[in-house]
Amino acid sequence: MASAPLPLEAAPIAFGTDGWRGILGVDITVERLLPVAAAAARELASSAPEGLASREVVLGYDRRFLAPELAEAIAAAVRGAGLVPVLSDAPTPTPASSWAVVERGALGALVITASHNPPEWLGLKIKGPFGGSVEGDFTARVERRLAAGGITVPIAADTARFDALGAYVAGLKAKVDTGALAEGLQRLGLTVIVDPMHGSAAGVLPALLGEQAVASGAIREIRSQRDPLFGGHPPEPLAPYLTQLIAEVRASTAAGKPAMGIVFDGDGDRIAAVDERGRFCSTQLLMPLFIDHLARARQLPGTVIKTVSGSDLMALVAEDLGRTVLEMPVGFKYIAAEMLAGEVLVGGEESGGVGFGMHLPERDAPFAALLLIEALVEGGVPLGQRIDALQQRCGGAAAYDRLDLRLADMAARQRLEARLAEAPPSEVAGAAVEEVITTDGVKLRLGPSHWLMLRFSGTEPLLRLYCEAPSPDRVARVLAWARQLAESV
């Protein structure tokens, strides 16, 4: 895969929807990272809830190039801020750092990761004392600290290390009967093939389900070794990057051993799946299954939270079970805010992030994988059959896709943005627009479970096109129409 040309100058330090990320060696350097870590640590201490006396800051990291070394380097900045760094002794999924914060009663966590971004990227995520990502007002205060130019002198010393992965695995085992899941998979004759995409969630699901599940063939991993280049693709759970997994699932099923795939992104906070027929299942299809399982089988309380780009099937299944549905802008931070404010059953976004009210206010892909397996064991049928049954019961579209389109420049973006605001289309690919929704970007509803959404990146001339429709052909036609519209302005 050809990478984009590297920038010649570092971009200003600015936090996005979940942390600060950039090109390693250009944007992300030791000299730039240390003051950011110090400012973030000081803000964690300053913003600590009343009664939280801890001085600990958890430090985590993924498997990217130099991530372990940079995690150890920022420990000096945390000490310089008068706080106590505790460092994971191995790469771990990002939710393991969030879990450690809550379990240890720490001030928060700093995690060196670039999540699902391309291999040349790295970054820093900040987790609060509640076990989830800090909000925008927190990162704005961190940016103000940086702008003020205060100096924190790093203090070199030995850093205490702890078994973050072991504590996380033990914590999840306390929440889910993983032994029963392993037995259920063997009873179903179903093989789970896990693809951690060379990332830091490697080994987690086998550790959760146990040695017997591995020995019996109920679960196995591919692409589990560390590869900072991630096989030449971004470690993002999208179908084009999962050819090996899809092929292995299809081959196993064809050989008489039904299989499914579970995929984690580079830092283990996003999930996707592949059903027994080799169909890619994003959270557009997994979220309805989570809703059904948790509300019907587990009978857990709470509201369902979806983003505006989420499938209509999520709302249809929730409403069929008598659950209230809230639709939020794109970004897990909006879901997390609802989880902190009230009782939530499950919240998810189309890009793979799912959180659960009985867990952390955080995307946690390994925990989601356990609940996915639990749902299949409870239902007694493979993933594809279960999703098909939900669609037949509740209705809903059968196809979805997303296209990221790079525009010529920011001026082109501004022209298109103005046109959509002033005169949104009244017709899309031959279908009349029934409703224009502006919760986030512009969503054009064309009928039941049939819509097109256009949403711009906040920082670059990038347009994201989302479409749900009754068939793949119709999705392709609508996205082609939207692309032509964008390129004509």
Question: For 357-416, what is each residue's pLDDT tens digit?
Answer: 999 999 999 999 999 999 999 999 999 999 999 999 998 877 999 999 998 888 889 999
The answer to whether 372 touches 262, Cβ cutoff 8 Å, is yes
Same domain, 377 and 255: yes
Same domain, 361 and 254: yes
Condensed to tens digits (0 to 9), the pLDDT of residues 40-65 reads: 999 999 999 999 999 999 999 999 99
- Residue 397's pLDDT is 77
Tell whether 11 is covered by a domain.
no
Q: How far apart are CA 408 and CA 456, in angstroms?
A: 13
- Residue 410's pLDDT is 85
In the predicted model, what is the mean pLDDT of the chain? 94
What is the tally of structural domains in the chain?
3
Same domain, 319 and 453: no
Tell whether 276 is covered by a domain.
yes
- Residue 4's pLDDT is 59
- Residue 409's pLDDT is 86
- Residue 18's pLDDT is 85
Same domain, 49 and 122: yes
Tell whether 424 is covered by a domain.
yes
User: How does DSSP classify residue 10?
Assistant: P
Region 205-234 average pLDDT: 96
**Of the residues 147, 169, 191, the one at which a domain ends:** 169
Same domain, 352 and 403: no
Phi, psi values for residue 255, rounded to 5°? -85, 5
**Of the residues 151, 169, 187, the one at which a domain ends:** 169
Residue 153 is part of which domain span? Answer: 20-169
- Residue 459's pLDDT is 63
User: How does DSSP classify residue 232?
Assistant: G
The answer to whether 224 touches 196, Cβ cutoff 8 Å, is yes
CATH number where 134 lies: 3.40.120.10
**Of the residues 375, 394, 413, the one at which a domain ends:** 394
Same domain, 354 and 420: no
- Residue 396's pLDDT is 83
Same domain, 54 and 104: yes
Same domain, 61 and 131: yes
Same domain, 269 and 188: yes
What's the one-letter identity of residue 448? P
SS (H, E, C) 253-304: HHCCCCEEEEEECCCCCCEEEECCCCCEECHHHHHHHHHHHHHHHCCCCCEE
Tell whether 440 is covered by a domain.
yes
Region 206-212 average pLDDT: 95
Tell whether 349 is covered by a domain.
yes
Higher pLDDT, residue 74 or 331 = 74
Tell whether 12 is covered by a domain.
no
- Residue 150's pLDDT is 80
3, pLDDT greater than 70: no
3-state secondary structure of 400: strand
Q: How far apart are CA 329 and CA 439, in angstroms?
A: 6
Helix axes 283-292, 365-379, angle to 10 degrees: 60
Phi, psi values for residue 397, rounded to 5°? -70, 160
Same domain, 196 and 104: no
1, pLDDT greater than 50: no
Reference 222, options 234, 206, 233, 210; nearest CA is 206
- Residue 145's pLDDT is 96
Condensed to tens digits (0 to 9), the pLDDT of residues 17-28 reads: 789 999 999 999
Same domain, 214 and 308: yes
- Residue 398's pLDDT is 77
Q: How many CA atoms lie within 13 A of 379 on its CB side?
A: 23
Same domain, 157 and 206: no
